[in-house]
Amino acid sequence: MKFQQIRSATAIVTFGGVRFLIDPWLGAKGSFPPIPGSPNPDLSCPLNELPLPISEILNVDAVIATHLHFDHFDSQAMEKIPKDMPIFVQDETDAETLRTKDFTDIRILKYAGEEYKGVLLIKTDCLHGQPGNIGLLYEKMNLRSSACGVVMRHPQEQKTLYLAGDTIWCDFVKGAIDSYSPDVIVVNAAEATILGFGRIIMGLEDVQAVLDYAPDAVIIASHMDNVGHEKLWRSDLRQYIQTNHLQSRLLVPEDGEICSF
């Protein structure tokens, strides 16, 4: 198993010999304007250029889109990804959106699992915001609130991988850990925040909750240092790692870096 951080939530996972591109955000640095309600109101994003040429990033077998927010599947991804590339999505609504963009091989993730080239892909749920106001937040932003995570298993892989997706710590994450006992958990940990609505992905307390609940797992912090509404940065996590002696448990890869298991 290899996890290559590309940028933000975009990553390439090699699992069972199959290469999956996760949540492709392929636009140029600064191509998206400041996000309304951001705690950093002057920051356009992404904050960094891609670490690899797009042609190299697209050298994969399939794409997994946990949802279609701008920083997970942008207009450049719509344009650059081959139209016959297999793309796994969370539901029929996202599938239909991609079909309108002329993609021809859309596959829907399932809770019971969907197999691709020997890799079992299992859909998990997310809570992409704070309970009680999540609906109002995304209605205001004219976006869907739903997102998903994915568990990967393969007979030749000794470890189970869990991509938690855009979620805070919640019963969905706890349930996925209970059900699948993942050895490696990728968490989106930038504490992206909308003022008045709170964080919409994991912050430090959420990451610590995952560490506590899955004491035998290695945690990878993804979705870092690229969205304009971020409150938790790689430098913060690395300081936390040093202070709490978490070097073997919590990894914070740079853009382009590969974590191998």
Indicate the pLDDT class of residue 103, thresholds 50, 70 and 90.
very high
Count other Cβ atoms within 10 Å, centred on residue 101: 13
CA angle 219, 86, 109 (to 5 degrees): 55
Distance CA 121, CA 61 (A): 14
* pLDDT tens digit sequence for 19-39: 999 999 999 999 999 999 999
* pLDDT tens digit sequence for 129-156: 999 889 889 998 899 999 999 999 999 9
Q: Which residues pair with 61 in a beta bridge?
A: none
Domain ranges of the chain: 2-260
**What are the backbone dihedrals phi and psi of residue 155, each rounded to the nearest 5 degrees, phi first?**
-55, -30
200 neighbors 194 (Cβ within 8 angstroms): yes
Distance CA 11, CA 21 (A): 6
CATH number for the domain whose boundaries are 2-260: 3.60.15.10
Q: Look up the pTM and report it.
A: 0.98
